Chain A
């Protein structure tokens, strides 16, 4: 049983890429195309609960060199909602644990006849290296702290659904900017769509060099709070830090946790987002995470829609001519 999407929507550009590696290299039009496609899938599948047959006969492999539950599940579901088969391939730790390079691993999977490889790896750039070495489509599902394009896209989609447009909004990314792939993907995507981006956190986690890219730097959450339309509260990536960049979790929470008290200083219609998993009490208190301004669970649902859109754009029958769901 499948639902066909029949109504064609006008889309601004053709999708020509074979891979989705980052948002840094995408154009505003390409990002909007993915978001429009995601919206349209969402609408026509009753919030991604129904199946389509658009990718029947295609196989999507999840190649996760780093642990993940949510992203992997989300990609698997997205692929299946489109009628594709999925196969999971996980390899903990180094790909060399069995003496095989990660490129050989991927080549082996490709040789089994998959059409797309969704890859997560602890090392920045690994998806790009795979894309250079194998022919099937590569989707970056997080390469260390570098980028996590579908997370950036789902965050932006969530904001766009709530506000209609990204242009002119002030969005603060709060927390561990240094080690956050979500931060990087959000920065590029939001800027391209016209948002003013603030990165906020302790000096040890927020490089002044972001200013070179037109990003505002803030070390005080309280100072920027009143002018933010969106607060995206990033998780402290303890596992990626070489040396703890602040004296204690208690001190961090004191300075940067989004609390009920701080909410009083925020705009009335502020959106509270978190890419998760959230450390309750560290980045955000439960009353805020579960409060009326929170769109955290909408983000999760949008994750499915965005991943469906990405897989369809990459694997859809004829990329060159068919640029919209039918």
Chain B
């Protein structure tokens, strides 16, 4: 009967509307109560001056396994997640082979269990082989444990397939996660189309390429009642369309990544491929729109789109280098530094977008510190200043544009299912 007491922290649980300084007792892997005093049989975590939050959830992570283990594995990706404060992640199926069968879903779950770092939920392919031609065996994948469906890496391109996927998934109450991009408008593109791409003469990816498909997805979701979740929203037009769709009660949700609320296309002046991602870093107007969407609730979720690529792949010429950056180990610091510290989001709102909101979208029994819930807890040091040093990353890849950046706040202690998996101040301890 193991007991763990998190003492004297500011407990913020948006799901319960809770925000007060108290002790949290964990017993046998579940939240057992608040306001409990310590006793000799308890392991203690001193959270004085710290924030005690439900374990963070990242619903957009590329673990690369199977197939591209040189970039990341389930073990290294989940280790990075835990250091970043995440107790649950959802992995995206653009692996090789793609996750479109019960076997591959099981394989991921098996690897996650072996790694034993954090909870891993599987997003499976919406189409067979991620080819965008016919529906994957969604019912069987649901049975195997898939929590959502996506062809991310690519958009679900065929509009009829998208319609069918939304209709079919609604039967299982699972969302479709889509990467909105009209590929004819981004062909050969390297960065956001704007003044900067014009000056640098780099092929552009206009915001309209995202907007046109966002508009389609909203129409199809509205028509079918199928739940659509827009991944990595990056354009002002898309934010506005999602805002309006929500007013009409379209079953739509949306996420924004830390890089899209912090960086602009000006960064590409360095020609550094760590600023190359899809959707691309856009102009300030778009960044401001993403922030406004986060603030007014249009954007439900902050997700990383953690996309590891080995250095030799990213070191190529800008047109050959793959899209994407790692994000698990910098996300929380960026949220605190760029959204909470400047007063754009309060703690509760920010944490909701990384806890209960993604849990609700994916139908997970997670994201809260309610009594009886599985004890996934992230204790956050909200004041520590630290410099991002990619060489210290647990991720197998170091493709981050934030190296050298000073951030405020990071995960101090991370507890998964009642077991301490990470302590910033001390080496990770063995399972209690």
Contact = CB atoms under 8 A, between A and B. Distances in A.
Interface string A196-213: 000000000001011011
A209 B206 CA distance: 14
B301 to A, nearest CB: 33
A126 B317 contact: yes
Contacts of A125: 200, 202, 271, 318
Nearest to B272: A129
Given A129-B271, A242-B187, A24 B199 contact: yes
B271 A128 contact: yes
Contacts, number: 57
Contacts of A145: 201
Given A209-B194, A209-B195, A212-B195, A103 B315 contact: yes
Given A124-B271, A144-B201, A179-B201, A101 B312 contact: yes
Contact of B320 (A96, A128, A181, A242): A96
Interface in B289-324: 312, 315-320
A266 B215 CA distance: 49
Contacts of B317: 94-95, 102, 121, 123, 126, 129
A323 B313 CA distance: 42
Contacts of B187: 242
Given A101-B312, A101-B316, A125-B318, A146 B201 contact: yes
B198 A207 contact: yes
B200 A124 contact: yes
A184 interface: yes
A188 to B, nearest CB: 9
A121 B188 CA distance: 16
B283 to A, nearest CB: 11
Q: Which 6 A-B pairs have the closest CB atoms?
A: A125-B271, A145-B201, A146-B201, A123-B317, A209-B195, A123-B319
Contacts of B188: 242
Contact of B318 (A94, A124, A178, A207): A124
A184 B320 contact: no
Interface string A129-155: 100000000000000111100000000
Contacts of B195: 209, 212-213
B334 to A, nearest CB: 25
Contacts of B316: 96, 101-102
Band of interface residues on B: 10 to 19
Contacts of A184: 199, 201
Interface string A67-108: 000000000000000000000000000111000011100000
Contacts of B270: 128
19 contacts: A24-B199, A94-B317, A96-B320, A101-B312, A101-B315, A101-B316, A102-B316, A103-B315, A123-B317, A123-B318, A124-B201, A144-B201, A146-B201, A147-B201, A184-B199, A209-B195, A209-B198, A210-B198, A213-B195
A243 to B, nearest CB: 8
Nearest to B203: A242
Given A146-B200, A178-B201, 11 more contacts: A94-B320, A96-B316, A101-B316, A123-B320, A124-B271, A126-B271, A144-B201, A145-B201, A181-B201, A184-B201, A242-B203
Interface string B318-360: 1110000000000000000000000000000000000000000
Contacts of B201: 124, 144-147, 178-179, 181, 184
Interface in B170-218: 187-188, 194-195, 198-203
Contacts of B199: 24, 184, 213
A131 to B, nearest CB: 10
A117 to B, nearest CB: 16
A128 to B, nearest CB: 5
B232 to A, nearest CB: 24
Contacts of A146: 200-202
A203 to B, nearest CB: 14
A87 to B, nearest CB: 22
Contacts of B318: 123-126
